[in-house]
Amino acid sequence: MAVKLFIKEHLSYVVFQVALTAFLLVLFWLDGFRNVNTAIYAIAISTLLISSFLVVRYMLRRRYLAKIVVLPTTMEDALQKNSKTSEYAITERYFSELYKIYQHEVQSLYATQSRQYKFMNQWVHQMKTPVSVLELLLQQEEALDKKSVHEEVERLRRGLEMVLMHARLENFSDDMQIVQIPLKSVVMATVNDNKRLFIAGRVFPDVTIEESFIIMSDVKWLRFIIEQFITNAVKYTFEPNKKIYISAKQQQHQIHLIIRDEGIGIPNADLSRVTKAFYTGENGRKTGESTGMGLYMAKEICDRLGHQLVITSEVGKGTQIEVIFQS
């Protein structure tokens, strides 16, 4: 098979030699074959040169040809490791790099799908709780507790928003619009949208932001990350009548948005990992309500928007989250 493939590949050389021989014979025929020995030498030398070239070329390529006529069973088998010429070495190196890129893309796709699958599993598990509570409320014979229903509906709404934003995060570059934003107006709008959360948790916001602070960001994504920080602050503040302090300051060419709570704080062992996907930490395991995706998504969004996220915490005193905007 290798020989047949080689002959097919180099058939043009054989045709060229036949044509050259015919051309030489025609020339010597027109000359009356006065120098027969010269004609024989010319044909023999040209034939010898072509034959030598083909033999050497075959010897260099025989192992390569022997491999490619056998269908590979794995991608590694398809990558030749025994090239003899610089041309083949470059070709093999090219395909080897192409295979590495292919592997990287496949692994990235697999990691994304695995992350989405895990997120959806956790999300579905968490959404079972408010659905079960609503079912129990509807089964009660006494008057429906509208407050409880509203709380569970709100939990469902937050869960749906989380899964929607997670899906949109995969196409972030197509879903981003950077504009000038008055920081205080965005913060106040987000706080007002979460009034029921504050009331239910008996935690109250204290907002101190100057009207003049203008930042460059995307409104919907910024509101989403602020809501994540506020939700976490309320969730992990167990004592009633505590406050969440939301302030801002300007340092050189940067504006710092600071959200500080008086909650239980984050243990030092968890602090460096709270922005990892699906990491719930000690506090999340206590409440049983953490997906480990809120701070992960917030960090991803901040990175893609060009904002810096800094989290500091002290157990028993609270957590401070700082978002740094470049002005």
317, part of any domain: yes
Contact 46, 24 (CB under 8 A): yes
Residues 6+ apart with CB under 8 A from 72: 78
Among 70, 90, 124, the domain-final residue is: 70
Mutual orientation of helices 146-169 and 86-139 as an angle, nearest 10°? 170
218, part of any domain: yes
Q: What is the DSSP letter of 70?
A: S
Compute the distance between CA of residue 269 and CA of residue 146 in angstroms, rounded to an integer: 41
Range of the domain at 228: 171-326
Label residues 85-99 b or e (16+ Cβ within 10 Å = b): eeeeeeebeeeeeee
Among 70, 94, 119, the domain-final residue is: 70
| Cα 38 to Cα 14, 18, 26, 27, 109, distances in angstroms | 22, 18, 14, 12, 69
Among 70, 104, 123, the domain-final residue is: 70
Beta bridge partners of 259: 246, 321
Contact 261, 236 (CB under 8 A): yes
Q: What is the pLDDT of residue 69?
A: 67
Compute the distance between CA of residue 241 and CA of residue 262 in angstroms, rounded to an integer: 10
62, part of any domain: yes
284, part of any domain: yes
125, part of any domain: no
The parts of the chain modelled with pLDDT lower than 50 are none
Task: List the end-to-end C-alpha distance of the chain, in Å, as a whole number.
Answer: 69
Q: What is the pLDDT of residue 25?
A: 79
Compute the distance between CA of residue 17 and CA of residue 6 in angstroms, rounded to an integer: 16
